[in-house]
């Protein structure tokens, strides 16, 4: 066996299948048994090591190995196999391996959960510790990796600096109050101040802290010196949403750009997503083809009215090639007021200027009216965060949301309020405590500049690219109300 070969010179299944110069050579492969078929003369083992969707076929002569070993080679068992790579005699694969030596690394008893048949996603969610060994989750997490890597590449190429913003913070960046508290105080008997309130002066940080809901505010500080920055980190929201689009712990990418106005911000957001989609179409062809077929099968099982007209690959190509639609919030409300579902009273939530767009409204705009991704801008100030730049009309702010088919909001962003007095006024009106954010205000006092940024929900992007219907299936270990098992 090749254990003394330098680590990166040891071929894996992907290399064995793709590198024709290895044919005729003896090498060692390691992996997990996906299937085993046997008769008196020959044993076929399909081995997968995660490097690729494909398995390699191992052909073994049962008379050359001990029976006990073969009995223990069951689905899920892990093996190291030394053998010669040869052109395959069967159809279905170009090369296969003739096993000379087989070492059983780990047995897999009969009650192994991941049997070679179709398991439901719900079942696999309960086996999240094992689901990496399925074709679907292998493909999803290889694509997730490719997207994460492409995010860094994109920003690096365009002169952005990766800034690490804190996970523990003392502020509520979104002003929505949906935060997980961080404390070392004993919660059965916390210290109290003179008025009987919990005395956070005695807590670890000497003040109340929480897990961050966004790295934006600190990101802005970075942009006010580095120019172009982005964050890419975990984000926490204690909102009690049991939907297919929400997680309590998700990853967000937040670029922040000095000297960008709202138009520049939209240009970046669109170029960014389209580049990422183009990248996976180029680099993840095998996994995407698998997920495309999977999505088509799922789509065919839906009632006719709910079926999507485009396949997964078609949707990705469409996004890669077509410009997004752009409308203001006010125009979007006009469109909705004139829509058939509104006139026929089919929307659950009423439409009126000033409402927060509900997911049924976003879906109508994207899937029915424009039939492409849409950027909605200039929302009413009362439904948006305090830091967004106030427009001259006195009613709206320079906000932008990017809405995607099947997903809804994938990006939320804005031009920031860079005028000290306006920002302070807005904070007061919205009861944002100044003493918590004095440092944020100071950037508007000393050398303030127009600037903008946005947040892309990474899991929502992975959902769009993989076609997975539930956000819990695109993050390795999802966190949601009553869900923190693994």
Q: Does 246 bind ligand 4AD (CB under 6 A)?
A: yes
Q: How far apart are CA 104 and CA 126, in angstroms?
A: 27
Question: 134 is in the binding site of which of ligand 4AD, Mg ion, none (Cβ under 5 to 8 A by kind)?
Answer: none
Question: 410 is in the binding site of which of ligand 4AD, Mg ion, none (Cβ under 5 to 8 A by kind)?
Answer: ligand 4AD
By the 8 A CB rule, do 420 and 437 touch? no
Provide the H-helix boundaries in 206-308: 216-226, 262-283, 285-300
> Which residues are paired to 235 by β-bridges?
250
- Tell me how many residues contact ligand 4AD (CB under 6 A): 22
- With CB under 6 A as the contact rule, the residue among 11, 138, 405, 413 that binds ligand 4AD is 413
Q: How far apart are CA 233 and CA 253, in angstroms?
A: 7
Stretch that binds Mg ion, among 210-218, 253-261, 407-415, 432-440 (CB under 5 A): 407-415
Q: 423 in helix, strand or coil?
A: helix
Query: Which residue's entry shows tokens 């993840």?
Result: 284
Instruction: Between 412 and 450, name the residue whose CB sits nearer to Mg ion.
Output: 412
In the complex, residue closest to Mg ion by CB? 412
Six-digit token pair at 142?
């290889």
Q: Does 232 bind ligand 4AD (CB under 6 A)?
A: no
Residues 6+ positions from 123 with CB-CB distance below 8 Å: none
Question: What minimum distance in Å lies between the beta carbon of 200 and ligand 4AD?
Answer: 25
Question: What minimum distance in Å lies between the beta carbon of 326 and ligand 4AD?
Answer: 17
- With CB under 6 A as the contact rule, the residue among 34, 451, 460, 479 that binds ligand 4AD is 460
In this structure, the chain runs to a length of: 486
**C-alpha count within 13 angstroms, C-beta hemisphere, residue 189:** 0
Q: How far apart are CA 102 and CA 79, in angstroms?
A: 7
Our measurement of the distance from residue 271's CA atom to the centroid of its chain's CA atoms, rounded to an integer in Å, reads 18
Q: Does 457 bind ligand 4AD (CB under 6 A)?
A: yes
Of the candidates 142, 8, 13, the one whose C-alpha atom is nearest the C-alpha of residue 79 is: 13
Q: 36 in helix, strand or coil?
A: strand
Q: Kindly provide the b/e burial profile for residues 377-392, where b requires at least 16 CB atoms within 10 angstroms of the residue's own CB.
A: bbbbbeebbbbbbbbe
Question: 178 is in the binding site of which of Mg ion, ligand 4AD, none (Cβ under 5 to 8 A by kind)?
Answer: none
Instruction: Between 49 and 409, name the residue whose CB sits nearer to ligand 4AD.
Output: 409
Q: Does 264 bind ligand 4AD (CB under 6 A)?
A: no
Question: 408 is in the binding site of which of Mg ion, ligand 4AD, none (Cβ under 5 to 8 A by kind)?
Answer: none
Of the candidates 2, 137, 130, the one whose C-alpha atom is nearest the C-alpha of residue 78 is: 130
Stretch that binds ligand 4AD, among 148-156, 163-171, 197-205, 456-464 (CB under 6 A): 456-464
Residues 6+ positions from 461 with CB-CB distance below 8 Å: 147, 273, 276, 410
Instruction: Between 137 and 464, name the residue whose CB sits nearer to Mg ion.
Output: 464
Q: Does 412 bind Mg ion (CB under 5 A)?
A: yes
Stretch that binds ligand 4AD, among 125-133, 157-165, 369-377, 455-463 (CB under 6 A): 455-463
Q: Does 459 bind ligand 4AD (CB under 6 A)?
A: yes
In Å, what is the CA distance from 338 to each residue of 327, 359, 364, 377? 15, 18, 12, 19
Q: Does 47 bind ligand 4AD (CB under 6 A)?
A: no
Instruction: Between 11 and 412, name the residue whose CB sits nearer to Mg ion.
Output: 412
Q: Does 411 bind ligand 4AD (CB under 6 A)?
A: yes
Nearest 5°: CA angle at 48, between 44 and 54?
A: 90
Q: Does 455 bind Mg ion (CB under 5 A)?
A: no
- With CB under 6 A as the contact rule, the residue among 412, 450, 467, 478 that binds ligand 4AD is 412
Q: Does 173 bind ligand 4AD (CB under 6 A)?
A: yes
Residues at the site binding ligand 4AD, with contacts judged by CB under 6 A = 173-174, 214, 216, 237, 239, 246-247, 250, 252, 254, 409-413, 453-455, 457, 459-460
Binding site for Mg ion (CB under 5 A): 412
């Amino acid at each position: 066996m090749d254990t003394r070969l330098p680590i990166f010179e040891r071929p894996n299944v992907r290399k064995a299948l793709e590198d024709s110069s290895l044919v005729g050579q003896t090498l060692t492969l390691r992996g997990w048994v996906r299937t085993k078929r046997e008769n008196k003369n020959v044993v076929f083992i399909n081995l997968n090591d995660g490097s690729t969707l494909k398995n390699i076929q191992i052909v073994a002569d049962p008379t050359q190995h001990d029976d006990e070993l073969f009995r223990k080679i069951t689905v899920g068992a892990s093996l190291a196999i030394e053998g010669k790579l040869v052109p395959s005699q069967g159809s279905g694969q170009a090369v296969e391996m003739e096993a000379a030596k087989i070492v059983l690394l780990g047995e897999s008893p009969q009650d192994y959960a991941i049997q070679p048949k179709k398991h439901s996603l719900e079942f696999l969610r309960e086996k999240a510790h094992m689901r990496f060994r399925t074709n679907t989750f292998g493909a999803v997490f290889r694509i997730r990796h490719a997207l994460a890597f492409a995010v860094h590449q994109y920003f690096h190429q365009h002169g952005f600096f990766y800034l690490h913003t804190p996970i523990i913070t003392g502020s509520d960046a979104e002003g929505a109050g949906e935060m997980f508290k961080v404390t070392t105080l004993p919660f059965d008997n916390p210290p109290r101040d003179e008025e009987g309130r919990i005395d956070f002066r005695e807590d670890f940080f000497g003040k109340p802290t929480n897990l961050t809901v966004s790295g934006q505010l600190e990101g802005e500080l970075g942009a006010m010196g580095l120019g172009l920055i982005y964050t890419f980190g975990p984000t926490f929201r204690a909102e009690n949403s049991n939907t297919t689009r929400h997680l309590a712990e998700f990853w967000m990418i937040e670029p922040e750009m000095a000297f960008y106005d709202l138009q520049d911000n939209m240009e970046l957001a669109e170029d960014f997503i389209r580049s990422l989609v183009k990248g996976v179409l180029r680099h993840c062809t095998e996994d995407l083809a698998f997920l495309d077929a999977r999505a088509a099968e799922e789509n065919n099982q839906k009632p006719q009215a709910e079926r999507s007209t485009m396949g997964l690959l078609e949707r990705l190509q469409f996004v890669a090639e077509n410009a997004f639609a752009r409308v203001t919030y006010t125009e979007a409300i006009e469109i909705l007021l004139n829509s058939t579902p509104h006139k026929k009273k089919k929307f659950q939530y009423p439409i009126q200027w000033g409402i927060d767009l509900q997911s049924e409204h976003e879906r109508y705009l994207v899937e029915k009216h424009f039939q492409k991704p849409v950027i909605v801008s200039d929302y009413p100030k009362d439904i948006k965060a305090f830091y967004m730049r106030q427009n001259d009309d006195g009613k709206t702010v320079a906000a932008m949301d990017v809405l995607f088919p099947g997903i809804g909001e994938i990006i939320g962003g804005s031009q920031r309020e860079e005028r000290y007095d306006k920002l302070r006024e807005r904070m007061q009106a919205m009861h944002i405590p100044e003493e918590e954010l004095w440092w944020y205000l100071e950037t508007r006092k000393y050398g303030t500049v127009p600037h903008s940024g946005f947040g892309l929900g990474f899991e929502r992007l992975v959902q769009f690219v993989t076609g997975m219907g539930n956000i819990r299936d695109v993050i390795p270990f999802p966190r949601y109300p009553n869900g923190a098992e693994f």
